[in-house]
């Protein structure tokens, strides 16, 4: 018997993503009708199979390139040291402690509407349709499972017995029919849910494939840091008033990096996944970064538009020091201007000064995410691999502020 509990649902076409030195292009659908979205614009392709007859026509506006607006580098705390990991004069940072805070800086990205790269608009619209369709189906499946649970309880109550199903044969047959229908409904909706999962196939040129997969390998190693923190905010500290050796107070929360994938963009490969506690998670695909705040609130950011900056960081660590972290000194909980102990405090004690690594993701459209790592060497290697992947695009991978103006 063929059931049709949901007559209208969209079977989403597969998407082929092509990454070359020119950038990322996407082909939606298959022969005889398809749409190609790339750096040169949006084109509609029509062909008649077996005849060699085809037509290619631009649709929409003119070609969309990368914005020429310069990237604004993420604000760095004064405790960061760009020269090397162990500077001669410590300028440590302290986490939460009684202090007078000024110049608070919240580390948060802009809205998903602002973050999205213009040249990925069509791809984003297709993903939006996927989210909407899957959300509707998931709601119907939850309702269908509730109906199945009730129908199963009524049917099994009689089926396991001896008397009622023989006395009330018609009622028992009706219960069985309701139960079978509920089972079929759940099964069909589950199958439709599979058909609404967008299947992606990446075709990456060798010049971009090798550095991308090397970058992914470095990310896998980065995941092995003993501690990874999402940096939420920074606040300058009045050192005179607090008698602290710290120049800043940092609010942070632990996160776990992993290789995984976005649940609606089906690809056989796993990609770097960076969780975010106050915004969207980051998924690094070949050629773009998917910033996902929720199922229907997300942005696609062209890889050229994302800037990654590594910096070492000296940190006064009041929590247990991770095993893969280097301790480079000691600081007094209550200190004078010269860093010596403030003798007015009888129970004064020393706190270890360690070296961490920070990675800051930014873009001209408002991406602003910062992470802190207990092993700075692993963070620096990932940043170097990121730069190598960007260099594989040639001139297109230069910072936006350094590209020739139109």
Q: What percent of the chain has pLDDT over 90?
A: 40
pLDDT score of 339: 80
Phi (first) and psi of residue 371, to 5 degrees? -130, 155
- Mean model confidence pLDDT for the chain: 78
What's the pLDDT tens digit per position in 139-155?
889 999 999 999 999 99
pLDDT score of 209: 93
Q: What percent of the chain has pLDDT over 70?
A: 72
pLDDT score of 10: 53
What lies within 8 Å, CB to CB, of 222 at 6+ separation is: 257, 373, 378, 379, 381, 382
Beta strands 265-266; 198-204: pairing state: parallel
What's the pLDDT tens digit per position in 46-82?
555 554 555 555 655 443 333 333 333 333 333 433 3
pLDDT score of 341: 85
What's the pLDDT tens digit per position in 6-60?
555 555 555 677 787 777 776 765 555 555 665 555 555 555 555 455 555 565 5
Q: How far apart are CA 19 and CA 45, in angstroms?
A: 19
What's the pLDDT tens digit per position in 247-281?
888 999 999 999 998 876 778 899 999 999 988 99
Q: How far apart are CA 212 and CA 271, in angstroms?
A: 10
- In a 10 Å sphere around its CB, with 0-12 CB exposed, 13-18 middle and 19+ buried, how is residue 206 labelled? exposed
Residue 204 parent element (H or E): strand 198-204
For the sheet with 281-285, list strands across it.
Answer: 258-260, 271-274, 281-285, 288-292, 298-302
Q: pLDDT band for position 102 (50/70/90)? A: low
Residue 16 parent element (H or E): strand 15-20
Mean pLDDT of 300-322: 94
- In a 10 Å sphere around its CB, with 0-12 CB exposed, 13-18 middle and 19+ buried, how is residue 363 labelled? buried
Q: How far apart are CA 62 and CA 72, in angstroms?
A: 27
pLDDT score of 25: 73
Nearest to 60 by CA among 43, 77, 76, 73: 43
pLDDT score of 5: 55
Angle CA(127)–CA(264)–CA(223) in degrees, nearest 5?
115
What lies within 8 Å, CB to CB, of 76 at 6+ separation is: 311, 360
pLDDT score of 117: 87
């Amino acid at each position: 018997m063929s059931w049709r509990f949901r007559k209208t649902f969209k079977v989403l076409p597969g998407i082929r993503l092509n990454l070359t030195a020119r950038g990322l292009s996407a082909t939606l659908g298959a022969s005889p009708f398809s749409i190609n979205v790339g750096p040169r614009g949006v084109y509609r392709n029509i062909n008649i199979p077996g005849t060699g007859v085809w037509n290619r026509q631009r649709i929409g506006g003119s070609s969309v390139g990368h914005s020429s607006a310069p990237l604004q580098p993420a604000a760095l705390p004064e405790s960061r040291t760009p020269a090397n990991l162990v500077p001669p004069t410590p300028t440590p940072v302290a986490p939460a402690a009684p202090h007078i805070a000024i110049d608070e800086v919240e580390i948060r990205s802009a809205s998903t509407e602002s973050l999205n790269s213009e040249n990925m608009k069509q791809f984003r619209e297709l993903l939006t349709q996927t989210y909407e369709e899957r959300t509707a189906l998931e709601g119907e499946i939850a309702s269908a499972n509730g109906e199945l649970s009730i129908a199963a309880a009524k049917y099994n109550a009689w089926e396991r017995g001896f008397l009622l199903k023989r006395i009330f044969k018609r009622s028992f047959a009706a219960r069985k029919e309701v139960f079978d229908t509920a089972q079929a409904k759940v099964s069909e909706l589950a199958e439709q849910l599979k058909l609404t999962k967008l299947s992606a196939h990446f075709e990456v040129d060798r010049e971009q494939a090798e550095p991308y997969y090397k970058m992914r390998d470095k990310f896998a190693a980065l995941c092995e840091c003993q501690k990874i923190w999402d940096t939420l905010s920074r606040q300058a500290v009045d050192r005179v008033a607090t008698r602290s050796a710290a120049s800043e107070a940092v609010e942070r929360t632990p996160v776990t990096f992993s290789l995984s994938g976005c649940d609606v963009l089906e690809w056989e490969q796993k990609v770097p996944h960076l969780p975010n506690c106050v915004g969207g998670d980051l998924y690094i695909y070949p050629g773009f970064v998917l910033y996902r705040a929720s199922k229907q609130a997300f942005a696609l950011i062209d890889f050229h538009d994302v800037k990654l900056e590594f910096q070492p960081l000296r940190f006064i660590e009041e929590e247990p020091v991770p095993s893969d972290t280097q301790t480079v000194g000691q600081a007094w909980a209550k200190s004078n201007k010269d860093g010596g102990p403030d003798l007015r405090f009888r129970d004064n004690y020393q706190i270890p000064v360690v070296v961490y690594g920070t990675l800051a993701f930014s873009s001209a459209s408002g991406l602003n995410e910062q992470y802190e790592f207990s092993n700075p060497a692993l963070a620096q290697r990932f940043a170097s691999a990121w730069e190598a992947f960007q260099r594989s695009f040639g001139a297109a991978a230069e910072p936006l502020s350094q590209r020739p103006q139109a």
